[in-house]
Amino acid sequence: MDLLATALPALSEAFALILQPRQIMFLILGVLLGLSVGVFPGLGGIAGLSLVLPFIFGMEPVAGLALMVGLIAVIPTSDTFASVLMGIPGSSASQATVLDGFPLAKKGEAARALSAAFASSLFGGLLGATVLTFFILIARPLVLAFGLPEMLMITVLGLSMVAVLAGRVPLKGVAAACLGLMLGTIGEAAAGGSLRMSTYDTPYLMDGFKLVIVGLGIFAIPEIVALLRQDRAIARDATLGSGWFDGVRDWFANIWLSIRCSIIGVIVGVIPGLGGSVVDWIAYGHTVQSAKDKTGFGSGDIRGVIGPESSNNAKEGGGLVPTLIFGIPGSGSMAVFIGGMALLGYDAGPQLISNDLDITYTIVWSLALANVVGAGLCIALSGPIAKLTTIRFTLLAPFLFMMISFAAFQSRQSLGDLLALFGIGLLGILLRRFDWSRPAFLIGFVLADQAENYSNMAHQIASSKFRRSFEAGFDYIATPITLVLLAIIVVSVVVGIRQAKQILPEGAVETGAKRAPLIFLLCVTAYLCVAWYDAFTIRMMGDKIFPLTVSSVAIACCVAMLVQMMRAEETSPLFADREAGGEDANAPHGLWGTLAWFAMLLVLSALMGFILALAVFLVMFLRVRAGLSWGRTLFLSALGIGFMCLMAGVLNRDFPPGLLQGYADLPWPLT
């Protein structure tokens, strides 16, 4: 009752503040801005918020909050467009949506998948806000109960989803996840600063790879290249099947799933330090495990969209808890949000809840309201936007290459970004070709940092507590929360392994000759051995142990596969190879020729800077590959470049210079 007595008056005040035409107008403005940024893959909330930050100073607080919250709230909603339509994970919040959303688009059911996703987002957002309204008052002790051992367990729970997504050969899945973990360890170690697989002369590698680039490389590039080889529309027969209404109905039919996944989203979002990176995978894993008929997952089961999408908007609400209560941002965009609040004169922290509960609720419910507006707009847009999937893909591809290159530049603003994108894209293509689980790889990469840090730190604290007394140490690691999480992990691994064979996250793959898969496996093994040796030479134990252990496990998996390969027949799933048969093998265009187009953009950028390179690339591609008339070629190219300059101008980003720029002083945007 006490809780209600505190909450209700502040809540009604908050509503009085929000529900005024002016605030609603700013909220909608934020939503529109967020939508227009979020639709483009790789441009998440940080880019959007940085866009409005200069205007926040001096604004009226509630209006400013409404603007920022509106912007943040729709980003996990709007990035679904890229995930479903193009198979590009728009941000870390919609990685898992790709798995079933994109196959649905290929079936011509893009509108259905989108509207189901938006309905789930909407519901997740609202449920999140409701839970938060009361939870935020009592959350402090609960959040403090999550120490390092607990966070480590959640990270492991995320990793255990690999069991579900490993594909037909479990060893391959584990090896893929380990490879992802190893990629995540490249660069300066967080603990002691030792360099791993990099030197002081390779500053790009020292910082490690960013999720944007790895996500785009592993998912987007292989899909774009594969589609481009087909020379047809994304939707196989270029028609749209079921419409947006079916999607909403699908969501309603799975409302319990949506509720469960929303709750998962709120809980994981509340824990500071985990952020959004695991939520959608845990939700996807849960969706698969709790479904009776699992055969459709990976090839277009609508539940695979509803689960993750319900969780990722609920997570944004949950993420407000650490942000507001402790002043510790749960994600990059939350960090910028705190900065914006400070501009308005509010400091996030415990005193905000106790002194300005009405402002706190304004934030929470603006978020909910923005969800409603944003999801509503998105549902309305999903029909028309889904038509993109019926356009001949060859006309879309050059602009997609342009967009993902631009998105990749946001990571470091150097040419290295483009090179990394290409390299990881190549790895993604090979993983896809030989049926190594790409989701497992990405989970490994996303969680590498947390897995290493939390295990190191928890180990260090635990040993200090054990030194004090056995009891103190035991109390520290064996809390009720860790034990429950441990039980969930064990169950999910056991159940996952048993089910993994039925679930093909990326569809069935033909098998063929032994040679190509064997060579790929040998290359992976060779890299792992080099990485193992590199880790072995590190002097600091804390920086060494994690990559050493992971690469040992991965090498063991690879050796076991090599032994199996020697005995297995050519038809064994070990020898999966998309070039051996099926859609890819029969495509009218070759793999390398298609990839060469993207390589061309890269090389030209290195020579003459991005914008000039883009001009040459667009004209050549549209004229030669797509076979358009000169008129249309030039028109579309000009459109693309104009758009790129507009984006760069608005977001105030420069393009990395090429060799040419070293010799001649060119005006913006050619610099």
Partner 1 sequence: MSLLSTTRRTVTRTASAILVAMGLTGAAHAEMDLSGETVEWVIPFSESGGSAKWANFYAPLLAEALPGEPTVVVKFMPGAGSTKGANWFASQAKADGKTIFGSSGSTQFPFLLGDPRVRYDYADWNVVLASGTGGVAYLPPDLAEKFDGDASGLKDIDFIYGSQGATRLDLVPLLAWEMLGLNVEPVFGIKGRGDGRLMFERGEANIDYQTSSSFLKGVMPLVEEGKAVPMMTWGALDEDGNIVRDPTFPDIRTFKEVCDVTPGCETKGERWEAWKAFFIAGFPAQKMVFLPKGATEEMIETYSNAFQKVHARDDFAEISKKRLGVYPQMTGDMAKATLKQGTQVPAEAKAFVINWLEERYGVTLK
* Positions in the binding site for partner 1 (CB under 8 A): 46, 49-50, 53-54, 57-58, 144, 146-148, 188, 190-193, 200, 203, 206-207, 272-273, 326-329, 332, 335-336, 338-339, 342-343, 345, 347, 349-351, 412-413, 452-453, 456-457, 460-461, 464, 467-468, 539-540, 542, 652
Residue 287's CB is within 10 A of a number of other CB atoms, namely: 29
Q: Give the DSSP letter string of 234-258.
A: SSTTS---S-HHHHHHHHHHTHHHH
603 alpha-carbon distance from chain centroid: 27
Q: Please identify, using beta-carbon distances, which residue of 203 and 593 lies nearer to partner 1.
A: 203
Picking from 105, 158, 203, the residue whose alpha carbon sits closest to that of residue 442 is: 158
Going from the C-alpha of 589 to that of each of 576, 593, 596, 624, 626, the distances in angstroms are 21, 7, 12, 13, 12
Q: Please identify, using beta-carbon distances, which residue of 193 and 376 lies nearer to partner 1.
A: 193
Q: Please identify, using beta-carbon distances, which residue of 63 and 369 lies nearer to partner 1.
A: 63
Smallest gap, in angstroms, from Cβ of residue 353 to partner 1? 10
Q: What CA–CA distance (Å, rounded) separates 69 from 73?
A: 6
Q: Please identify, using beta-carbon distances, which residue of 200 and 663 lies nearer to partner 1.
A: 200
Smallest gap, in angstroms, from Cβ of residue 336 to partner 1? 5
Q: Please identify, using beta-carbon distances, which residue of 249 and 465 lies nearer to partner 1.
A: 465
Helix or strand run (H / E) with residue 195: strand 195-196
Are residues 93 and 124 in contact, defined by beta-carbon separation less than 8 angstroms? no
Please give the structure tokens belonging to residue 630: 């000169």
Smallest gap, in angstroms, from Cβ of residue 609 to partner 1? 14
Smallest gap, in angstroms, from Cβ of residue 539 to partner 1? 6
Picking from 310, 305, 245, the residue whose alpha carbon sits closest to that of residue 98 is: 305
Going from the C-alpha of 435 to that of each of 429, 554, 595, 660, the distances in angstroms are 10, 17, 19, 41
Smallest gap, in angstroms, from Cβ of residue 669 to partner 1? 14
Are residues 376 and 14 in contact, defined by beta-carbon separation less than 8 angstroms? no
Q: Please identify, using beta-carbon distances, which residue of 16 and 145 lies nearer to partner 1.
A: 145
Q: What CA–CA distance (Å, rounded) separates 381 from 371?
A: 15
Q: Please identify, using beta-carbon distances, which residue of 61 and 273 lies nearer to partner 1.
A: 273
Q: Please identify, using beta-carbon distances, which residue of 48 and 101 lies nearer to partner 1.
A: 48
- What is the number of alpha carbons within 13 Å of residue 321 lying toward its C-beta? 32
Q: What CA–CA distance (Å, rounded) separates 333 from 227?
A: 32
Smallest gap, in angstroms, from Cβ of residue 203 to partner 1? 6
Are residues 163 and 493 in contact, defined by beta-carbon separation less than 8 angstroms? yes
Q: Please identify, using beta-carbon distances, which residue of 248 and 325 lies nearer to partner 1.
A: 325
Smallest gap, in angstroms, from Cβ of residue 537 to partner 1? 13
Smallest gap, in angstroms, from Cβ of residue 393 to partner 1? 35
Q: Please identify, using beta-carbon distances, which residue of 295 and 351 lies nearer to partner 1.
A: 351
Picking from 278, 305, 286, 331, the residue whose alpha carbon sits closest to that of residue 87 is: 305
Q: Please identify, using beta-carbon distances, which residue of 351 and 571 lies nearer to partner 1.
A: 351
Smallest gap, in angstroms, from Cβ of residue 355 to partner 1? 10
> How many residues are there in the chain?
671
Picking from 525, 453, 554, 440, the residue whose alpha carbon sits closest to that of residue 188 is: 453
Q: What CA–CA distance (Å, rounded) separates 167 from 573?
A: 10
- Degrees, nearest 5: CA angle 628-633-639: 140
Smallest gap, in angstroms, from Cβ of residue 457 to partner 1? 5
Residue 582 zone, left/alpha/beta (φ > 0; ψ -120 to 50; rest): left
First to last CA, the chain: 63
Smallest gap, in angstroms, from Cβ of residue 56 to partner 1? 9
Q: What CA–CA distance (Å, rounded) separates 20 from 247?
A: 32
Q: What CA–CA distance (Å, rounded) separates 281 from 163?
A: 12
Q: Please identify, using beta-carbon distances, which residue of 112 and 412 lies nearer to partner 1.
A: 412
Q: Please identify, using beta-carbon distances, which residue of 330 and 640 lies nearer to partner 1.
A: 330
Angle separating helix axes 393-412 and 221-230, nearest 10 degrees: 160
Collapsing DSSP states into helix, strand and coil, what is residue 459? helix
Q: What CA–CA distance (Å, rounded) separates 342 from 345?
A: 5
Smallest gap, in angstroms, from Cβ of residue 383 to partner 1? 36
| Residue 87 phi, psi dihedral angles, 5° rounding | 75, 20
Q: What CA–CA distance (Å, rounded) separates 136 from 128?
A: 11
Smallest gap, in angstroms, from Cβ of residue 463 to partner 1? 9
Residue 208 zone, left/alpha/beta (φ > 0; ψ -120 to 50; rest): left
Q: Please identify, using beta-carbon distances, which residue of 88 and 212 lies nearer to partner 1.
A: 212
Smallest gap, in angstroms, from Cβ of residue 47 to partner 1? 10
Smallest gap, in angstroms, from Cβ of residue 72 to partner 1? 13
Q: Please identify, using beta-carbon distances, which residue of 219 and 409 lies nearer to partner 1.
A: 409
Smallest gap, in angstroms, from Cβ of residue 577 to partner 1? 39
Q: Please identify, using beta-carbon distances, which residue of 298 and 416 lies nearer to partner 1.
A: 416
Residue with tokens 């403090």: 144
Collapsing DSSP states into helix, strand and coil, what is residue 620? helix
